[in-house]
A and B are shown apart, each in its own frame.
Chain A
Amino acid sequence: MSVRHGMLWGMARTTKKDDPLAPVTLAVGQEDLLVDRAVAQVVAAARADDPDTDVRELTPDLLRPGTLAELTSPSLFAERKVVVVRAAQDVAADTVKELKAYLTDPAAEITLVLAHAGGAKGKGLLDAARKAGAREVPCPKMTKPAERLGFVRTEFRAAGRSVTEEACRALVDAIGSDLRELASACGQLAADVEGTIDEAVVARYYTGRAEASSFTVADRAVEGRTAQALEQLRWALAVGVAPVLITSALAQGVRAVGKLATAPRGMRPGDLARELGMPPWKVDKVRQQMRGWTGDGLAVALRAVAEADEAVKGAGSDPAYALERAVVAVAQAARSGGR
């Protein structure tokens, strides 16, 4: 986005693109932590400029027609003011009109921060602010593990600390996807630990695993790694994965092996994937898992999983026990051919 502050607003102060004291700042996205940081950055910059800066936080229900005019009218003492509008996508239509009018003619002493979720809702306001040349801070949700790893790395870098790659990974594994928790963990490690932060340090502070999926359980079991599979199963149950999802993942894992093992030989990978109804990467993965399986092993494993499915659906008294038995049975069956 091109930003032409000085020309548009004809202000005394010349602003750069990343100056936190730009007249209007847009925090776009749904990651609360990043939005809060964007707001805090603006407030800190304003306070540095003038320690008496007045900060006003407004939610859509507090923002009635006229409120904005009241807040942005010149004050007697010419004090600096930061006005933060939270959830700007939910602001009522009348107020949006006022906001748009203000965007074209912002007051010099005032820094406006609009926190907007960035979706289709309230898009008019977002577009108007962009058109007016607001400074934009992206605050998207981080969905991929790699993004979270990157976030942790930047956190430590911002704190001026060196950190090993394994330590970052261990931290993400242990804490999970909540960015706020990740940030505070990074903050604590940076404050408490001297020198390079490595895996051993992370393990001292944070152990365990915040997120375990039914598919990891199934993968480990189908690979015949009993101990890891049981560990994953315990984590999965501890973080509240439903037992039925685990039996269904186990069934899918065993079934995939059975299908691939009996698929016609010499097919091209693309055709094979289509024949089996799996994406190509899955076919490759299952091929790795297939070693060590026998026909009898598959039969035993399928029966064990079916039994567990019945048990977790009410026929047995302890779902966790039924699942453990099934996982052990599958892992043993996976080694039935010897490897």
Chain B
Amino acid sequence: MTVWDDVVGQQRVVDQLSAAALAAGALITADPAEARPDSSAMTHAWLFTGPPGSGRATAARAFAAALQCVSPDRALGAAPGCGFCEGCHTTLVGTHADVEVVRTDLLTIGVKDTRDLVRRSSLTPAGGRWQVIVLEDADRLTEGAGNVLLKAVEEPAPRTVWLLCAPSLEDVLPTIRSRCRALVLRTPPAEAIADTLVRRDGVDPQMAAFAARAAHGHIGRARRLATDEGARTRREEVLRIPQMVSDIGGCLKAAQQLVDSAVEDARQVAEGTDAKETEELRAALGASGAGSRLPRGTAGVLKDLQDRQKRRATRTQRDTLDRALIDLAGFYRDVLAVQVGAATELCNAELRPTIDRFAASSTPEHTLRRIEAVLDCRRALDRNVAPLLALEAMTVSLRAA
């Protein structure tokens, strides 16, 4: 096993990163008296891009582990990133002192948090190798936060490496983009995903093949589908929508149902964490126990926490809706594939009869318009249109198209 095992179907990127890790190791072990070794394979800032679920964050973390690898085999010529040594292991489980993983369950990363990150980035690595900062949601940096990062990413401390992840190059500021070396991950093939599910998660091969197809190349989603019965049920519900939207009442009902299930999802996520967080904060402020009053002047802190929880709920709702829309678009993609007689594999092979029926009863133009409606809805949600309204506009378009 090596650290690269979890990076699914990205051989080219893995080769490039191993070479970089090797060069990075050479930089550290080089005798300062001699000339610096050729280090063009390694650089101080990387931007991992690729479609959602292609494993950007996993690749970044694997690279971080390879940078921190202290395996004695390296001296014998082995590639760094053994996956067993203390450096690799602690990085992968997230406890390495010199690897900072920044992610957010909110909608954006703000200036305040970023300033703090910049300060920490200039620390000398405690382990003597590299100070690695993995910014998993670089696309969620606000514009102000991006500007705060500029200087730090352009000229970091000698042993600091920035690993930024974003869905596409356009998702980060041009000024940040130009300061990073770009790595493009491809959508992993379904076979590679299925293989990983079987090997790593012990999923039944048939289920793994289904999940890999249904997830459209999204590794995390595939695993969720393969292991979580609830996720499969919800997906089936979403895929029933094309049959529900035959009349206006059905359209409105379908939209309402999607929003309800998203709200329910957010509520389930919140149920576990919100109450606990609130109670912990109250205890920290000295007001533990139900009904006891908060000390004077601390109500604001609690309000902040509630605001954050609310933003998190919004994010969960949006993510759920987005996933549903992707599934829906996948269905129409299959219909289109059948209509034009494309010889590709269907995402929803198990729905073949329904898909055939849809393909026979409409034209490719209709199908394309429907896919367009789904994508328009995603864009509208992204622009903060009221979810129910956006979905209704979509479902009535699915009907009318």
Residues of A within 8 A of B (CB): 247-248, 251, 255, 258-259, 261-263, 295-296, 298-299, 302-303, 305-307, 309-310, 313-315
- In whole angstroms, how far apart are the Cα atoms of A258 and B245 in the complex? 13
B228-281 contacts to A, CB under 8 A, are: 247-252
26 A-B pairs with CB atoms under 8 Å apart are: A248-B386, A251-B388, A251-B392, A255-B392, A258-B249, A261-B248, A261-B249, A262-B249, A262-B250, A262-B252, A295-B248, A296-B400, A299-B396, A299-B400, A302-B396, A305-B389, A305-B393, A306-B380, A306-B390, A306-B392, A309-B380, A309-B386, A309-B389, A310-B385, A313-B384, A315-B383
B252 proximity list for chain A (CB < 8 A): 255, 258-259, 262
A313 proximity list for chain B (CB < 8 A): 383-385
A310 proximity list for chain B (CB < 8 A): 380, 383, 385
How big is chain B's contact interface, by range? 20 to 34
A262 proximity list for chain B (CB < 8 A): 247-250, 252
B323 at interface, CB cutoff 8 A: no
**A302–B400 contact, CB under 8 A?**
no
* Also in contact, A306 and B385, with CB within 8 A (given A255-B392, A298-B396): yes
Q: Which of A255, A310, A315 has the most CB of B within 10 A?
A: A310
How distant is A127 from chain B, measured CB to nearest CB, in Å? 28
Q: What mask results when residues 366 to 401 of chain B are scored 1 for a CB within 8 Å of chain A, else 0? A: 000000000000001001111011101100110110
Residues of B within 8 A of A (CB): 247-252, 380, 383-386, 388-390, 392-393, 396-397, 399-400
B380 proximity list for chain A (CB < 8 A): 306, 309-310
How distant is A263 from chain B, measured CB to nearest CB, in Å? 7
Which residue of A has the minimal Cβ distance to B401? A299
Q: Given A295-B248, A303-B397, 17 more contacts at CB 8 Å?
A: A247-B389, A251-B392, A255-B252, A258-B251, A258-B252, A261-B248, A262-B250, A263-B249, A299-B251, A302-B389, A302-B392, A303-B393, A303-B396, A305-B393, A306-B380, A309-B385, A314-B383
A258 proximity list for chain B (CB < 8 A): 248-249, 251-252
B249 proximity list for chain A (CB < 8 A): 258-259, 261-263
B396 proximity list for chain A (CB < 8 A): 298-299, 302-303
4 closest A-B pairs by beta carbon, nearest first, are: A262-B249, A306-B393, A299-B396, A251-B389
How distant is A311 from chain B, measured CB to nearest CB, in Å? 9
**B386–A295 contact, CB under 8 A?**
no
**B248–A299 contact, CB under 8 A?**
yes
Which residue of B has the minimal Cβ distance to A293? B248
How distant is B384 from chain A, measured CB to nearest CB, in Å? 5
- In whole angstroms, how far apart are the Cα atoms of A263 and B400 in the complex? 20
B400 proximity list for chain A (CB < 8 A): 296, 299
- In whole angstroms, how far apart are the Cα atoms of A218 and B45 in the complex? 53
**B386–A302 contact, CB under 8 A?**
no
A305 proximity list for chain B (CB < 8 A): 389, 393
- In whole angstroms, how far apart are the Cα atoms of A204 and B397 in the complex? 49
A295 proximity list for chain B (CB < 8 A): 247-248
**B399–A299 contact, CB under 8 A?**
yes
- In whole angstroms, how far apart are the Cα atoms of A307 and B385 in the complex? 9
- In whole angstroms, how far apart are the Cα atoms of A263 and B397 in the complex? 20
B248 proximity list for chain A (CB < 8 A): 258, 261-262, 295, 298-299
- In whole angstroms, how far apart are the Cα atoms of A307 and B392 in the complex? 12
Which residue of B has the minimal Cβ distance to A257? B248
A314 proximity list for chain B (CB < 8 A): 383-384
Which residue of B has the minimal Cβ distance to A250? B389
